[in-house]
Structure formats: C-alpha cells, structure tokens
A and B are shown apart, each in its own frame.
Chain A
Amino acid sequence: DGGITQSPKYLFRKEGQNVTLSCEQNLNHDAMYWYRQDPGQGLRLIYYSQIVNDFQKGDIAEGYSVSREKKESFPLTVTSAQKNPTAFYLCASSTTSVNTGELFFGEGSRLTVL
C-alpha cells in the first residue's frame, strides 16, 4: 500500500537532546512537508522540500533542521535550540503539479520532552 510512514509514533527525550523523526513515503511524490500540530493552533509549517537536495524554511523553522538526500525520505531533527519541542509532528507529501495542494499525511509522531 502506498503511503507515508512516520517513526517513532511516541518519543520521550530529556531536555537538551537532539531528536530525529523519520518520514518515508512510497507515493513517488516530489514535495514533502513537516508540520507541527498543537491544540488550538492548527497546523504550522516547519520545513518543506519540493525536490531532492533542496528545502525551504516554513513559518516556525527555528530550532529544527531537515535533510532531503532521497526522494522518499525527509527526516526532521528537533534540536536543543527548540524552546518548546513537546508537540505532535506531522509529515506530509504531495505532487508538485500546478493547481494542486492535496497533501497526504502520515500518522504523526508525538514528542515529549521531559
């Protein structure tokens, strides 16, 4: 089945530690995205990538980093510089055709920093 796989589903870390969240897609989509979802705040874009080896900052990129070495993979690192990292993180992908915007989402990763 085609889709997006995020891992781990749940992650606990101590303050000051970097954490990497995995996102893999087999939909052959060019574009991939990372969002953060907090209660009452909707979805906020962290980073996005429209092609391999290229990515752009979203609205809340500070304290996060990404890489896009392969089309299928777009890992997100939550660094110790992120002041409030406890959140639900969603990865998504889409085609890059004009006049589209349909995103396909993974099931999310819930990060709790203790």
Chain B
Amino acid sequence: AQSVSQHNHHVILSEAASLELGCNYSYGGTVNLFWYVQYPGQHLQLLLKYFSGDPLVKGIKGFEAEFIKSKFSFNLRKPSVQWSDTAEYFCAVNNAGNNRKLIWGLGTSLAVNP
C-alpha cells in the first residue's frame, strides 16, 4: 500500500535558520507530490506541487522542494525561515492519472522563534 513518511514531527528553529523537512513515499509508479501548510487558525492550503518536468519546484513564500525519484523523496526547503513560517506542514502523494485520492504524511509542526 502507498504510504508517506515525514521524518520530523516537531522542528524548532530560530529566525534566519535554514529549513529542510523530509518526505519519503512508497509507490513504484508515477506520482504527483504536494506540500500543504496549515498556519495557526487558518485553513490548510497548497504550498507547492510537482507533476512532471523540473524536479526542483518553487512554491509560495520562498519555499521549494526537490523530487528525487531514485530516493522516493520530496523534501521541502527554505533558506531562511521567518517567524511567520510557524505552521504545520503536510506532504501528500497521489497516483498520477489514475487515483486522485491523496495519501498524507502525519505532518511536521514547525515553530520559528523570533
């Protein structure tokens, strides 16, 4: 069965530190990959997505993620975090072109100290 693993459940950083959140999935076929973010008190929203093409994708607010097919990974990065990046981050995967049902990771809670 497909699954998504997010390695860090809780991350605490100081402002201006670099961020990398790990995401690995288990599925041998073609996949679509997503990162969603849930800011405190706000609705869950799409941060960035990968369908095909350049494996380095850029999203909103300076976030980027790199799809490494050989490692089944889609790690989220940001060179310099801000206090406003404090949020819960979810990685999600679906089977491209066939099953639109998303498989979700358990989430990573990021706290950025000012």
Contacts and interface: CB of A to CB of B under 8 A. Distances in A.
B46 interface: yes
B45 A101 contact: no
Consensus secondary structure, chain B interface: strand
Contacts of A102: 34, 46, 49
Nearest to A90: B44
B101 A96 contact: no
Interface residues of B, number: 23
Contact of A101 (B32, B44, B90): B32
Interface residues of A, number: 25
Interface string A99-114: 1111101111000000
Contacts of B105: 42
Contact of B104 (A31, A43, A105): A43
Interface in A20-35: 31
Interface of A: 4, 31, 40-45, 48, 50, 58, 90, 92, 94, 96, 98-103, 105-108
Interface of B: 9, 32, 34, 36, 42-46, 49, 51, 90, 92, 94, 96-97, 100-102, 104-107
